[in-house]
Structure 1
Amino acid sequence: MSFVQKTGLSLAIATATAVLLSGCATTGPSETLLSSGLTAVSSPQSATQWYQLGASEADQRQQQTATTGKAKNVILVIGDGMGITSLTSGRIFSGQQLGLKGEEFHLSFESLPYSALVKTYNTDQQTPDSAGTMSAIMTGTKTRAGVIAVSPQAERANCGSSKGTELTSLIEFAHQQGKATGVVTTTRITHATPAATYAHGPERNWEADSQLPEEAKANGCTDIASQLVTSDLDVAFGGGLKAFTPAATGGYRADDQDLTANWLARPGHHFVSDAQQLQQANMKNGQWLGLFSGSHLPYVDERDDKIPGLLTMTQAAVERLSQDSDGYALVIEAGRIDHAHHAGNGYRALKETEELHQTLDWLINQVDLSNTLLLVTADHSHTLTLAGYPTRGNPINGVVKGNDDRGLPKTTPELLEDGQSYTSMNYRNGPGAVSMPRPGVDEATALQPDYQQQALIPLESETHGGEDVAIYGAGPYAHLLGGTMEQHWIYHLMRYAITGKQEI
């Protein structure tokens, strides 16, 4: 059995396991259709069942074999802000959307065979920002918070200090090796994380020329949008149209240029601006820029049919990049997980995580993992917590209902010493902060899409967390993942997979 077949089988078994371990929601058996086409029948829990499933997992893992051939393709997937608690909560949420209890569910990428923990600090910050972390992943060099693919010798927002410190990104290296390259994001394409794949500069906020200070202009720095349209990217899909269009037409540019026209003026370059244009595009060749919103793409539950989702953009990108006989390098970002967390909005963070899970479910079954290195990680975490002893299967974003003295689920919410109910998902800081006496929350309120989980410290925007994040992988040299890694080492793994040799 090939590695690809084993991986697909593992995913199917993992999903079947989730169904089996959920137990019956009703008195009779129920059937759930798996994405693999298999049908699993749920059954009551038993000690024997848990034991057998554990033995089966051990057997599967001992059959894993490392893949050591060169990687034709490299795909890096970033769940922006998707820390460990986001993974746990997202896993439960996605399972519960399928009618399962949730805890036993696996997100699609959690079944990839290799994993590790990743340290996320910047050279100047204990708790990092996305610009510094993504620059480390893309360039193999840790650097400062707020800078885009320049060395730590550059001072933030100081153009002169950054000259000569530009670092070659993995995407740029892949292009040098003759591979097609692309980036897909649900944020502005000029936002910090996607920008680190193709741009260089000492300030992440210089997305349009109107945001450049006089010092930057005098010392020859250019805005991120301008750098994209002169880049060698074959695919760039996301939001952020306003950074490319003049102020006279509602954009942010002070130079009166329409950079989408500049992109189209290059031979073989194409531009699309809505889902229908993307679906009708002939993705067999050419270079493609797709900007589907003025700023970030709307959250999953707020999009209309004019806005393509992460899966649709990923499918189009893979179709185009796969035409290159030398292979490709692709970066995919589920960027709005991060934004929902900053807003203290757990529901939308979980919905964005679910979209990433669904996108990777397609991607894992689409690509050939014998010659494609697939890595899934986060750039940093958030302050989301999950606690309170809720009974198994309790709605992940609902109020906590515990178990009685016999271990049986209660039907009424748990109350704290202040006499109020509470949710199991909360934030350490952010806009949901409460003061004493603490208000309670009922189930109907907690389950609303706009509900902001309660927080301890009042801040306009919830902050990142500083703990490690997870990385999952499959394909050539993914077996080198293990233990606790420095974040910049991810670049060196990807480069090693492309070249098949260590380079200093």
Structure 2
Amino acid sequence: YSANQQTPDSAPTMTAMVTGVKTSDGVLSIDQDVARQEKDNAVIQAHKLTTILELAKARGMSTGVVTTARVTHATPAATYAHTAERDWETDSKLPAGTSVKDIAAQAVDNFAANHGMEVLMGGGRTYFMPNTKFDPEYPTVKGRRKDGRDLTSEWQTKFNGKYVWNKAQFDAIDPANTKSLLALFEPSHVQYEADREKMDGAGEPSIAEMTDKAIDILQKNKKGFFLMVEGGRIDHGHHAGNAYRALTDTIAMSDAVRKAMEKTDPEDTLIVVSADHSHVFTIAGYPKRGNPILGKVVGAGKTDFAKASDGMPYTTLSYANGRGYHVLPVGGDTSYNEPIQTGRVADMTHVDTTDQGFHQEALVPLSSETHAGEDVAIFA
């Protein structure tokens, strides 16, 4: 929960995780006494909370953030930015009269010269680029910044850093001679793991590969390091009602955890794995062990599909709310282009529910599936 909601969004939950303080919906690393969308930076500065990344930086440690979402999205932004609106990711999002800096600018401006984050990797390239400049990967897409700043260039100059935007450039980075690295692989979020190799012509690394290189850069510091790694697209798969992509990205996150464990020693490095919230996602129906998790329910000792009281089979996985059932040629976010279709609208007997384009049934019709309010596990 957050200070003002029983079911939270990612801004106050990640704020709580990195500062130890509960705060309100939509705000990042400021306390609950500030109204959402507060425009006055003096108010923000008076109520800002110190993050674990900032504490690590003050101790002389190296710091990094890796995400499969935009690096300016709520979860990564909570580690380094202070604002009363999580959506103020670039200056073109700021309302008139706002003295608070946008989140992308804070990634550069909140740190002294030569003392910025050593690693910032993920998506959100256009949030760092001026609107007069075309994206290097998608020639019809322009940057989003109205202030003319090219934050990718400023990162390199201010922090003696390197900037990459594709897999070949990423692979060419030698951690031994890299002081800091800004890597932005998409205009917005990076590709889902299921789509990464087939949908991205320029290529982008997996979250495990980003974690691997981040640790190589960060561990050069004898004083130690702090690294936040987020499998952000797990959340997006659930919001779209596509368990296939949510779970595939969860496997990719597991690979990143395994890579971090291989590259560190538990004698001197603590690894914590958790979530900032859950989703209204259920595993139910008494399926037998070994039944495909994406499949239809088959009970223990049975060979036929279990039937609901309407005489139709049902899936092990479903959502309490969202856009509902669809089978699409491409999965994930494409469901937002389809009409909302909740409830029991189709007989699943001959539907391949394990297909990547299958979107699970949902009960309550909403434009997007919501978070849930139960406690999340913490592993360390």
Same fold by TM-score greater than 0.5: yes
Runs of at least 4 residues of structure 1 off by over 4 A?
Answer: 433-437
Pairing 1:374-389 to 2, within 5 Å after superposition:
374-389=271-286
The alpha-carbon deviation at position 435 of structure 1 amounts to 5.4
The alpha-carbon deviation at position 287 of structure 1 amounts to 1.3
- Matched residue, 2:153: 261
Verify: 1:399 aligned to 2:296, yes or no. yes
Verify: 1:363 aligned to 2:260, yes or no. yes
- Matched residue, 1:24: none
The alpha-carbon deviation at position 256 of structure 1 amounts to 2.1
Task: Please tell me whether the aligned partners of residues 383 and 464 of structure 1 are also in contact (alpha carbons under 8 angstroms).
Answer: yes
* CA distance in structure 2 between the aligned counterparts of 1:436 and 1:198, rounded to whole angstroms: 42
Task: Please tell me whether the aligned partners of residues 150 and 165 of structure 1 are also in contact (alpha carbons under 8 angstroms).
Answer: yes
- The TM-score with structure 2 as length reference comes to 0.88
Identical columns (%): 42
1:329 paired residue among 202, 214, 226: 226
Give 1:212's aligned amino acid.
L
2:302 paired residue among 402, 409, 434: 409
User: Which consecutive residues of structure 2, in runs of 5 or more, have no partner in the other structure?
Assistant: 134-141, 326-340
Q: 1:378 to 1:267 in 2, by over 3 A?
A: closer
Q: 1:392 to 1:146 in 2, by over 3 A?
A: same
Pairing 1:196-207 to 2, within 5 Å after superposition:
196-207=78-89
Pairing 1:405-484 to 2, within 5 Å after superposition:
408-410=301-303, 412-432=304-324, 434=341, 438-442=345-349, 444-473=351-380
- Matched residue, 1:132: 12
Give 1:129's aligned amino acid.
D
* CA distance in structure 2 between the aligned counterparts of 1:437 and 1:328, rounded to whole angstroms: 50
Give 1:260's aligned amino acid.
T
Give 2:67's aligned amino acid.
T
* CA distance in structure 1 between the aligned counterparts of 2:17 and 2:179, rounded to whole angstroms: 27
The alpha-carbon deviation at position 214 of structure 1 amounts to 1.2
Q: 1:435 to 1:299 in 2, by over 3 A?
A: closer
Task: Please tell me whether the aligned partners of residues 270 and 287 of structure 1 are also in contact (alpha carbons under 8 angstroms).
Answer: yes
The alpha-carbon deviation at position 162 of structure 1 amounts to 2.8
* CA distance in structure 1 between the aligned counterparts of 2:58 and 2:159, rounded to whole angstroms: 20
Pairing 1:157-176 to 2, within 5 Å after superposition:
157-160=37-40, 161-176=43-58
The alpha-carbon deviation at position 444 of structure 1 amounts to 4.5
- Matched residue, 1:283: 175
Secondary structure of the corresponding residue to residue 186 of structure 1:
strand
Q: 1:212 to 1:238 in 2, by over 3 A?
A: same
Pairing 1:94-243 to 2, within 5 Å after superposition:
121-160=1-40, 161-216=43-98, 220-230=99-109, 231=111, 232-243=116-127
* CA distance in structure 2 between the aligned counterparts of 1:289 and 1:126, rounded to whole angstroms: 36
User: Which consecutive residues of structure 1, in runs of 5 or more, have no partner in the other structure?
Assistant: 1-120, 474-504
**Higher mean displacement: 437-446 or 198-207:** 437-446
Task: Please tell me whether the aligned partners of residues 398 and 443 of structure 1 are also in contact (alpha carbons under 8 angstroms).
Answer: no
- Pairwise CA RMSD: 1.4
Give 1:235's aligned amino acid.
V
Pairing 1:10-49 to 2, within 5 Å after superposition:
none
* CA distance in structure 2 between the aligned counterparts of 1:267 and 1:148, rounded to whole angstroms: 24
Q: 1:398 to 1:263 in 2, by over 3 A?
A: same
- The TM-score with structure 1 as length reference comes to 0.67
Q: 1:298 to 1:241 in 2, by over 3 A?
A: same
* CA distance in structure 2 between the aligned counterparts of 1:435 and 1:189, rounded to whole angstroms: 33
Pairing 1:2-81 to 2, within 5 Å after superposition:
none
Give 1:223's aligned amino acid.
D
Larger-gyration structure (1/2): 1
- The count of corresponding residues between Structure 1 and Structure 2 is 345
* CA distance in structure 1 between the aligned counterparts of 2:349 and 2:69, rounded to whole angstroms: 33
Verify: 1:294 aligned to 2:174, yes or no. no
Verify: 1:346 aligned to 2:243, yes or no. yes
The alpha-carbon deviation at position 469 of structure 1 amounts to 0.2
Q: Relative contact order (C-alpha < 8 Å, sep 6+): which is higher?
A: 1
